Chains A and B, each alone.
Chain A
Amino acid sequence: MSAVQAEAAVARRIVGRRSRGERIRGQMFQAGLLSCVVLALLALALLMIDVIVDGGSKLSWDFLTSFPSRVRPETAGVESAIVGTLYLMGLVAVFIVPVGVATAVYLEEYADRDRWWNRLIELNIQNLAAVPSVVYGILGLAFIVRAPLSLGPVLLAGALTLGLLVLPVVIIVAREAIRAVPPSMREASMALGATQWQTIWKQVLPGALPGVATGVILALSRAIGETAPLIVIGAALFARFNPESVTDSRFTALPLQIFSFISDPSDEFRSLGAAAILVLLGILLIMNSVAIFLRNRYEQKW
């Protein structure tokens, strides 16, 4: 064959050789990656199936409206836990919304980035977001349950501790929502003679509201499942009554109740634990659906 044909034949051969072995390796690689995804999804599926199978049969209206018992699994329910959880979440929300939004507004609208104390605040928030939840429990135990706040192991103490835990989440999300409001809005407002706070209150915050709401729901979703801080501050795992006031120490929350149920060696109580888990997951599902609904309905496209 001619020189050109020979060259072409060599080129074709090289391409062909690489293709065969490499193709196999490529497919194996892709299969490997896909199996990682499958395993992750499988774990999720097994988890859900396990909980549903174990606890589904125990779900009933009675379950939701009776009080727990350590002795008789047949009549035990989670009403006190549900009520306690809802109270806690309400208090946490009342705490984190003003404080979190105020911090975000300060950092985004007022703080001069060059000042060292402002950069310290930012770094601090990033660090707080990664502190283990038990340590927040210790913080709550040391200062909220004991002196100086000396509230004792009551509802309010639990709410404040959980609030401090999830505050960084609210701050970070609120900052992003505020940052998304374009500077032209602020310029237009200031050019009319509005003050900085008027601009923030009447233009920036309303514009950032959907993002902030999503962040708050995210934070509450995190807080609702937290067990460790409540254990450390001394909350009861088990309450036979609904709490009557924010300073009531006779309260419990769903995660604590679940922990109490599944720590019991008997299968009966373990199933109740699974059922309580389903209640908790149900509440979470509702919360996140509301968040998605809010986001889609009120999302501000600039």
Chain B
Amino acid sequence: MPDAQTEVDKTSEPAQAGRDGGKFERKAQAVSVTAGLRPDVDGGRVPDDLAREAVFRLQNVSVHYGSNPAVKDISMNIHEREITALIGPSGCGKSTLLRTLNRMNDLIPSARVEGEVAYHDQDLYARDIDPVQVRKLIGMVFQKPNPFPKSIYDNIAFGPRVLGMKGDMDEIVESALRRAALWDEVKDRLKENAFGMSGGQQQRLCIARSIAVSPDVILMDEPCSALDPISTGRIEDLMLELKEQYSIVIVTHNMQQAARVSDRTAFLIVDLDADEKNRWGRLVEYDRTEQIFTNPQDKRTEDYVTGKVG
């Protein structure tokens, strides 16, 4: 029985249909068999998918708030230009894990991160790493849309301005709004206050705002949970467009959403200690999305995705 966290990766079902007729995939398979074990994958099982470079490598990551654990012992690799979903029941630390990726947990004084979080092979929590620089590259969209009480234009322009980005601000704003599929709706009212927009528009504004600073990764913490189904659908379409340029990690409590948009899915559960005083999140299974939903390896995963447990 595999240990709680395994990264099971079957290259026999490639995520994207290779444009070279699958030649690269077959070659990767051949290489992986001869390459032997890779030390960064727990248990030395089937090697990493070579089609996609890992953006984040998490190794035994635990997060504590003071003396209370939030997540324990998470090891997984997040791949670039993919949508990776974190799902699980409430309280399993999905948001905490997400916030570890752009050092937003630093804003909470009692938070402590253990283990290794590597971003493109750089240790994110090394002593000489500046969280501010980290967040320029790894952006975040929050559960409840939080535009600034300024005009639409100034919302988008805020990031580039404070980061000292050079270039024509009008162009930057327009480009960000276009990429967020919002330009046509707001191009005539850029000077209006952002609070006047609908919830779905505000959230797309927040996405555009993150895009404007040219990040590498976009983290999304339940971005659609405060929105109606139509807005949700539009944002999901937007995510699929965005993943061509950005790596996206999304926390969602909506399983169907994970099934719809993500390439890989990580399933976490809530673990309790003996006297039920502490609860924390644990990674159960992490695999390609089709696998998680059609052929999960762990019974707990199967129970969750089939709706047997909440």
A191-B140, A194-B162 given; A184·B146 CB < 8 A: yes
- Check A191–B149 contact: CB distance below 8 A: no
Those of A188-205 within 8 Å (CB) of chain B: 188-195, 198, 202-203
Which listed residue, B109, B140, B148, touches A185 by the CB 8 Å rule?
Answer: B148
Interface string of A166-203 (1 = CB under 8 A from B): 00000000000000001011111111111100100011
Query: Quick check: is A300 within 8 A (CB to CB) of the other chain?
Result: yes
Nearest-Cβ distance from residue A243 to partner chain B, whole angstroms: 42
Q: Does A192 contact B144, Cβ atoms closer than 8 Å?
A: no
B240 at the interface (CB under 8 A from A): no
Select B146's contact among A185, A198, A202, A207, beta carbons within 8 Å. Answer: A185
Write out the residue numbers on chain A whose beta carbons fall within 8 Å of the beta carbon of B149.
185, 207, 300
Residue among A184, A191, A192, A300 facing the most chain B CB atoms (10 A cut-off): A191
Q: Nearest chain-A residue to B209 (Cβ)?
A: A192
Q: For residue A224, give the distance in angstroms from its CB to the closest CB of chain B.
A: 33
Task: Give Cα A185 to B146, complex, Å.
Answer: 6
**Residue pair B142, A184 in contact (C-beta under 8 Å):** yes
Contacting residues, chain B, for A193 (C-beta < 8 A): 132-133, 135-137, 139, 159, 162-163, 213
Tell yes or no: A112 within 8 A of B by CB: yes
Given contacts A193-B213, A195-B132, A203-B148, contact A188 B107 (CB under 8 A): no
Q: Does B304 contact A (CB under 8 A)?
A: no
Interface positions, chain B 20-52, Cβ under 8 Å from A, are none
Beyond the given A191-B102, A194-B132, could you list 19 further A-B residue pairs with CB under 8 A, ordered by the A residue number?
Answer: A182-B146, A184-B142, A184-B144, A185-B149, A187-B107, A187-B140, A187-B142, A188-B147, A190-B107, A190-B135, A192-B135, A192-B162, A192-B209, A192-B210, A193-B132, A193-B135, A193-B162, A194-B163, A202-B162
**Mind listing 6 A-B residue pairs with CB under 8 Å?**
A187-B104, A191-B104, A192-B213, A193-B133, A193-B162, A198-B162
Interface of A with B (CB < 8 Å)?
112, 182, 184-195, 198, 202-203, 207, 300
